Structure 1
Amino acid sequence: MPFDPLRFQESINKEFELIKDRVDNLIDIDANHHGENGAYKEAILRKIIKRFLPKNISIGTGFIVTETGQNTYSRTTQIDIILYDNNYPLLFNEGDFIITTPKNVKAIIEVKTTIRNSELNDYIVKSKNNMNLIGNPNIFNGIFSYNYNENILVHNDAVSLPIKRALENSNGKINHISLGSNIFIKYWDENHPLDDNHNCTSNKFFNIYQLNDLSFSYFISNLIDYVVDEDTTERDWFMFPILSENGKEDHGIGYCCIE
Structure 2
Amino acid sequence: MQNIIATLLEAQLESFSKEFLDTSRTVFYDDEKKRLIHSGEFGMLREACVRGLLKNFLPGIYGVAQGYVIGQCGEISHQCDLIIYHKSFTPYFHTPEAQRFFPIESVIAVGEIKSKADGTVLDDALEKLARIKIMREAIIDAAIARCRPSINRAYSPKDNLRDQVVTFVVCEEFTCSNDILSERIKKSWAGSLPRHRVNLISAIRNGTCTYKDCNSRPWMYPVEPDGTELPIRLNVPVPGKYGHIALFLRYLILLVEDSTVLYPELTRHLNSLLVCQRIVDIP
- Same fold (TM > 0.5): yes
Counterpart in the other structure of 2:249: 220
Counterpart in the other structure of 2:215: 194
Inter-CA distance 228–15: structure 2 relative to 1 (3 Å threshold): same
TM-fit CA distance, 1:86: 0.7
Inter-CA distance 229–176: structure 2 relative to 1 (3 Å threshold): closer
Tell me the distance in 2 between the aligned counterparts of 1:205 and 1:104. 30
Counterpart in the other structure of 2:169: 143
Which SS does the other structure have where 2:187 is aligned? helix
Inter-CA distance 23–222: structure 2 relative to 1 (3 Å threshold): same
Inter-CA distance 124–203: structure 2 relative to 1 (3 Å threshold): closer
User: Structure 1: which 5+ runs fail to align?
Assistant: 153-159, 231-259
| Kept in 1: contact 2:28–2:36 (CA 8 A) | no
Inter-CA distance 44–204: structure 2 relative to 1 (3 Å threshold): same
* Matched AA of 1:67: Q
Counterpart in the other structure of 2:115: 113
TM-fit CA distance, 1:9: 3.8
TM-score of the superposed pair, with normalisation by structure 1? 0.71
| Kept in 1: contact 2:28–2:37 (CA 8 A) | no
Quote the RMSD (CA, aligned, Å).
2.9
TM-score of the superposed pair, with normalisation by structure 2? 0.66
Counterpart in the other structure of 1:56: 61
TM-fit CA distance, 1:49: 0.6
Counterpart in the other structure of 1:19: 19
Inter-CA distance 93–216: structure 2 relative to 1 (3 Å threshold): farther
Counterpart in the other structure of 2:272: none
Residues 39-81 of structure 1, C-alpha deviation per residue, up to 9 Å, x if partnerless? 110011001110112121111010111122xxxx111111100
| Kept in 2: contact 1:181–1:214 (CA 8 A) | no
Which SS does the other structure have where 1:75 is aligned? coil
Which SS does the other structure have where 2:89 is aligned? coil
Inter-CA distance 196–183: structure 2 relative to 1 (3 Å threshold): closer
TM-fit CA distance, 1:32: 4.6
Inter-CA distance 65–203: structure 2 relative to 1 (3 Å threshold): closer
Residues 158-196 of structure 1, C-alpha deviation per residue, up to 9 Å, x if partnerless? xx2x223212115242110012234111135xxx46258
* Matched AA of 2:110: I
Which SS does the other structure have where 1:18 is aligned? helix
Number of aligned positions between the proteins:
213
Counterpart in the other structure of 1:184: 208
Residues 95-135 of structure 1, C-alpha deviation per residue, up to 9 Å, x if partnerless? 98421111111111001122124432222112111221133
**Aligned partner (choices 136, 145, 148) of residue 134 of structure 1:** 136
TM-fit CA distance, 1:4: 4.6
Tell me the distance in 2 between the aligned counterparts of 1:96 and 1:19. 26
TM-fit CA distance, 1:205: 2.5
Counterpart in the other structure of 1:42: 47
Counterpart in the other structure of 2:77: 76
- Pair member with larger Rg: 2
User: Once the two structures are aligned, what percentage of the paired residues are identical?
Assistant: 18
Tell me the distance in 2 between the aligned counterparts of 1:66 and 1:118. 27
Tell me the distance in 2 between the aligned counterparts of 1:217 and 1:180. 11
| Kept in 1: contact 2:94–2:100 (CA 8 A) | yes
| Kept in 1: contact 2:72–2:104 (CA 8 A) | no
| Kept in 2: contact 1:66–1:133 (CA 8 A) | yes
Residues 10-32 of structure 1, C-alpha deviation per residue, up to 9 Å, x if partnerless? 33431122213123212245455
Counterpart in the other structure of 2:125: 123
TM-fit CA distance, 1:35: 1.4
| Kept in 2: contact 1:144–1:177 (CA 8 A) | yes
Counterpart in the other structure of 1:33: 38
| Kept in 1: contact 2:47–2:81 (CA 8 A) | yes
